[in-house]
Chain A
Amino acid sequence: MRLGIAVDSRRCMGCWCCFTACKDEHCGFASKLSAAQPMMGQKWIDVREWERGDSSRRVKSASVATLCAHCEEPACMKASKDGAVYKRDDGIVIIDPDKSKGQKAIVDACPIKVVFWNEELEIPQKCTMCAELLDDPEYLAYLGDPALKQPRCVEACPNQCLYFGDLDDPKSDIAKIVASQKNTQLEEFGGKETNVKWLNVPTRFLAGTVYQPEELEEVLIGAKVKLTCKETGETWETETNYFGDWEVEWLPKNKKIDVVISAEGYKPVTCTASTEKDHYVGMTYMEKA
């Protein structure tokens, strides 16, 4: 059994229900597994968001619910002393609120900064995957079905962005979603296995709009756009849509990409774009051949 949470970033609307439910559960209330979360200052689950794009012509945002990854080999556990951090049989990583006193190294060890230092109690704190609720046979007993018991963040998510379950059970919803979606584990883990799975976290896009000669004031539909990355040898092809727009997602980060725009009867246009950031290549006015 390996309990995990899958975070499907594609679905996240940034509604902050997960964050609020987590605060509701843990702020001001201690459990067997953790001291109370302070009213302000800690985000056991955070919605980390960034704007994508460098032009109002094409702008998007990424939202990534970010919580303790319940790593297979937790760096925080390695940094802890006296068994202050332990991994349960179900895979959930817990910081003991008593034993961890004074161990700031546990906070510093986390590669994604989801362990918080409680100045007042001098302890590190983080997500428990609501293990205290999962353990409690009374909690939600009135619903009748233990399967309805989920961590608070997952239960509160309306977007089917968060999935909870046993990663080892191939029939579980979480295993299915992990198997069917683009696995995009956060770079900070350096490829190490975690029980929280991040899916569809975007990389880079390039986009643009193609127009007929400027004086015509018309978009150009169906123009071919070819992207080439000389460094990796990869190519991508697309066409402009009914708005003359083209866009390619999932490009490798920090590469130089050659862009060729062509359409029958027009002179091809070429340029080079960088994927250092998400980038709108521009409004391209084609010239008649």
Chain B
Amino acid sequence: MAEKVTHSIVVGGAVTIHTVDGVIRRVRPIVLDNNDPKGWVIKARSKVGGPQDTEYTPNRKVQPAFIALTEKNRAYSYDRIRYPMIREDFVETPDGKNRNTENRGTSGYRRASWDEALDLVVREIKRIHKQYGQEAITAMTSSHHSWGNVGYKISTFARFFRMLGYTEVKDNPDSWEGFTWGAPHTYGYYWRLGCPETFDLLEDGLQNVETMIMWSHDPDTTHGGYAGNESVMWRHWLDDMGVQFIYIDPFNNFSSIKQADKWFAPRPGTDAALAEAIAYVWVTEGLYDKEYIAKHAHRFEEWCDYITGKGTDKLAKTPKWAEYETGIPAADIKALARRWASTKTMGGSGMRAGFGGVCRTVNGTEFARTMVLLFAMQGMGKPGQNMWGGNTGSPMDYDFWFGGYSDPLAMIWNEPIADNVAVNPVTQKLYRPNLPDAILNGHFEWYGEGFCGQGIDHEFTENIYPKPGCSKVHMFWRYGGTFMGTMLDTNKWVRMYQSPELEFVVNQDIHFHGEARMADVVLPACTSLERVDIGELCSSGNGGYQSHSQTGNSWQVVVFQDKAIEPLWDSRSDYWIFAETAKKLGWGEQFTEGRTELDWCKRYWEKSDLCDRISWEDFMKKGYFVPGVPEDRVRRYGFRWFAEGFPCDTPNHKQFQEEGKLGTFTGKWEFVSESLQYWAPHDEIRTPIATYKHSWEGHHSIKAKKYPFHLISPHPRFDYHTQHNSSTPWFWEIPENRVYLNGNPYLVARIHPEKAAEKGIKDGDVIELFNERGSVLCVAIVTYRCEVNTIHAFGSSGIYNPVEPGMESMDIGGCVNLLTPGRLIGDMVPGMAPNSTLMDVRKWEGELPKGQFFEDKLDKVAKEGDPDAETCIEIIEGHGFEKIQEKVRKNYLKGAGV
């Protein structure tokens, strides 16, 4: 028996992997040993009001979320794509027409060899180039389906497509729209895409804070992005010392239900009204930091006029008014406002204080801006007064540099990692949320560059597809993780895939998720456990848009993501797939620069501080490196420089911050936004004064008469985007997640007891969520945790099971984005608003549809390769997993014997 221990990073955290005889035996947290450095120590109170005499230090293990502990399952999962596959009724017509594209999603597949599949792909690339030009190929990555600086989405993928030339699909900031499109017009931070800097605020919080405002924030669920459970103890410490946690969310979320001292449940989309009413109390009662405001605020008086009813709308934003909008009693709103103003208060929205479900509503920008202003009114940057959500800002050695995934210096298409920078010659662009609209209508116009971290002006660039002089796109290469569960109005995506406009569709993925089932050629990629890579836990880099996100960890840890097992079945690493295709296209050598994947990994060691701290051999042997935090560390509290007026000393700052200015036009808190007045004076969705506005899909809409419920579909607790729920049947046994009925894992949807009674719905009933866009079957949880008009069902369902595959049919996979609106928040606010969805619900009286609907396709291809192959249902319920492991083990031992 040969047991080896390797390490990896996955979206759920860092893990230790035990492999025995060529198969993965178990996946564990990284438990630090005595050679690893000491943890940081923060001296703070043990009770609010008490002396700073207690030492806080993290557990000596790097704590992943439970999803990370399922990486073994993701590797051997039933929905793994095992072989290259070609759609059965795909016809390689020489002109790209008549290819039965309408059958995409319905048709089955046949097994192909790598050569056959890649030769076809290469022939099609050449045909498209000849027939239309380079720009007729488009390609798009997932949102975080794997980890590792080499194999990650914007590294290897970008290297290949930049060299090939392609129409890039710009990502929208789908998790924090309102902060990206709103907050920079109030306080800058466009280079952090609207999120604040939270450096060293864990220490500040532990020492000073008395009240935490968790506004649309579920830290125990969102895990600081990719930090797993690294920050959970911090909130236990705060809770134990008596810090008051106030949660504001239409759903009493999983952090709130455990730690809230008070839960407020505004009607979805009305949070800006609540914020304005808080401001009303402060303005009328004088409960704000007047000195700070006098010094740092721009056009505050005008804004006060708006709040107090002396503005153009002549409407005072009283707590009573807000009660009508939000459903929260006026008396409670006043109490909230006074508590916030009278104690040291930190808080924010969502996982980096600038995320959260509210900012994914039509009123998201206005909420984000108003909430930011509330923190400003209390002297943001002073001790205990800041935007901080209790899950970032741990002590860190700022003098240790290792590139994170979104750091331009840490990508294999760019120098210094590569010798030659890969530059995309195509300037035509597409925009992700509207990709189907652009394909289906042959035309789309929009503002902005998606992620506008390079400047406020980038929000207002004018884009048109097709770009004058350019061809439309006719080939689509999808890479990793499906968007069927995360982008809105899913049926729009189905229509796109079935359009003959897309003459050729390639999907390169690990699992056979929604979009893979729409492709003509499916290329099986392996998991990050089956290849080598290198990466840092929860680090998007020190120069990326979420710079220093690793302060969401207790431990900073760089990991040699060693290959635990060989790629399963015919799967290959993404790097191999791209390198092989490049070779067939005639530029394989330029693509690889003569390097193997391991060579690329070593480049990251060479070009970072890692090489000063540990030898390459020791690093590979140990598998990870913890730089540690020096005991005499320098504190760099977020916003303190601004509040106290010294040149900015926090990392990742801008020149003007050193001059004491924010990133707004005036350098101050803009209560009336000059940048919006300048760039978008006629925008009615996002006005110079942020105002609570009725949603185009909300309780004031006509539609509400027919579809009276709000659907909120927050980021999932039991998944990471679409990556784990589908592949891990264990999760289907968690009652708060799914219910496994009749061979199908139904998503749970939550409804308030009062409304459930009206609808005759009982706990555990199968219910249909529906509106004019589609319908989804779920299982009801009747709960007081829902605001009374709200249906809660987690978004990002990795499982999409339309009852009629390939049709715009009812879904039983829990893909509630079938119901969400596909339109942008506004013409000039190119974000999406999944939490502005109206719908209705009814008890499902019909028979349950049969189980899932795609396994037969996988089973058929698997049997072509191996008549003894394990079927999907065997892997889910039977001994398929054991049989697969047994076969691989046998092969491994045979090889080991030779």
Which residues of A are interface residues toward B (Cβ below 8 A)?
11-17, 19-21, 23-25, 27-29, 36, 39-41, 43, 47, 49, 51, 53-56, 59-61, 63, 138, 140, 142-145, 148, 152, 155-156, 158-160, 211-212, 216-219, 242-245, 283
Residue numbers in A under 8 Å from B583 (CB-CB): none
Q: Are A56 and B70 in contact (CB under 8 A)?
A: no
Residue numbers in A under 8 Å from B262 (CB-CB): 243, 245
- CA–CA, A122 to B320, complex, Å? 65
Asked whether B232 is an interface residue with its Cβ less than 8 Å from the other chain, the reply is: yes
Jot down 29 A-B pairs with beta carbons below 8 A, ordered by A. A13-B255, A15-B220, A16-B718, A17-B66, A19-B66, A20-B66, A20-B69, A24-B26, A39-B730, A40-B732, A43-B733, A47-B734, A53-B784, A54-B784, A56-B786, A56-B787, A144-B34, A156-B29, A158-B229, A158-B230, A159-B236, A160-B236, A211-B331, A217-B330, A217-B334, A219-B331, A219-B332, A219-B334, A242-B339
Q: Are B331 and A158 in contact (CB under 8 A)?
A: no
Q: Are B783 and A51 in contact (CB under 8 A)?
A: yes
Q: Are B65 and A49 in contact (CB under 8 A)?
A: no
Q: Are A56 and B59 in contact (CB under 8 A)?
A: no
> Closest approach, in angstroms, between the C-beta of B316 and any C-beta of chain A?
14
Asked whether B254 is an interface residue with its Cβ less than 8 Å from the other chain, the reply is: yes
- CA–CA, A11 to B254, complex, Å? 13
Q: Are A242 and B331 in contact (CB under 8 A)?
A: no
Residue numbers in B under 8 Å from A28 (CB-CB): 879, 881-882, 885
Asked whether B61 is an interface residue with its Cβ less than 8 Å from the other chain, the reply is: yes
Residue of A nearest to B223 (CB): A15
> Closest approach, in angstroms, between the C-beta of A65 and any C-beta of chain B?
13
Which residues of B are interface residues toward A (Cβ below 8 A)?
3, 5, 25-29, 31, 33-34, 59, 61, 63-66, 69-70, 72-73, 220, 228-230, 232-233, 236, 252, 254-255, 257-258, 262-263, 265, 319-320, 329-332, 334-336, 338-339, 718, 729-730, 732-736, 740, 752, 783-788, 875-879, 881-882, 885
Residue numbers in B under 8 Å from A211 (CB-CB): 331
Q: Are B66 and A16 in contact (CB under 8 A)?
A: yes
Q: Are A158 and B63 in contact (CB under 8 A)?
A: yes
14 more A-B contacts (CB under 8 A) besides A159-B229, A218-B331? Answer: A14-B254, A16-B734, A17-B229, A27-B730, A36-B882, A39-B875, A40-B740, A56-B252, A59-B783, A145-B33, A216-B331, A218-B334, A243-B339, A245-B262
- CA–CA, A156 to B876, complex, Å? 24
> Closest approach, in angstroms, between the C-beta of B89 and any C-beta of chain A?
34
Residue numbers in B under 8 Å from A145 (CB-CB): 33-34
Given A15-B220, A159-B236, also A21-B31 (CB < 8 A): no
Partner of B258, one of A14, A19, A29, A39: A14
Residue numbers in A under 8 Å from B28 (CB-CB): 21, 152, 155-156
> Closest approach, in angstroms, between the C-beta of A231 and any C-beta of chain B?
28
Q: Are B785 and A13 in contact (CB under 8 A)?
A: no
Residue numbers in B under 8 Å from A25 (CB-CB): 26
> Closest approach, in angstroms, between the C-beta of A285 and any C-beta of chain B?
10
Q: Are A56 and B61 in contact (CB under 8 A)?
A: no
Q: Are A39 and B331 in contact (CB under 8 A)?
A: no
Q: Are B220 and A13 in contact (CB under 8 A)?
A: yes
Residue of B nearest to A55 (CB): B784
- CA–CA, A160 to B730, complex, Å? 23
Partner of B257, one of A15, A24, A61, A219: A61
Residue of B nearest to A245 (CB): B262
A-B residue pairs, 8 tightest by C-beta: A158-B229, A158-B63, A20-B66, A20-B69, A59-B784, A217-B330, A17-B66, A217-B331
Residue of B nearest to A140 (CB): B31
Tell which of A211, A212, A243 has the most Cβ of chain B within 10 Å.
A243
Residue numbers in B under 8 Å from A54 (CB-CB): 784
Residue numbers in B under 8 Å from A212 (CB-CB): 331
> Closest approach, in angstroms, between the C-beta of A177 and any C-beta of chain B?
14
> Closest approach, in angstroms, between the C-beta of A284 and any C-beta of chain B?
12
Q: Are A40 and B27 in contact (CB under 8 A)?
A: no
> Closest approach, in angstroms, between the C-beta of A173 and any C-beta of chain B?
12
Residue numbers in B under 8 Å from A29 (CB-CB): 25
- CA–CA, A15 to B878, complex, Å? 26
Partner of A219, one of B335, B718, B786: B335
Partner of A61, one of B65, B70, B258: B258
- CA–CA, A41 to B3, complex, Å? 29
Residue numbers in A under 8 Å from B5 (CB-CB): 142
Q: Are A13 and B258 in contact (CB under 8 A)?
A: yes
- CA–CA, A283 to B330, complex, Å? 13
Given A13-B254, A40-B876, A243-B339, also A56-B72 (CB < 8 A): no
Q: Are A24 and B70 in contact (CB under 8 A)?
A: yes
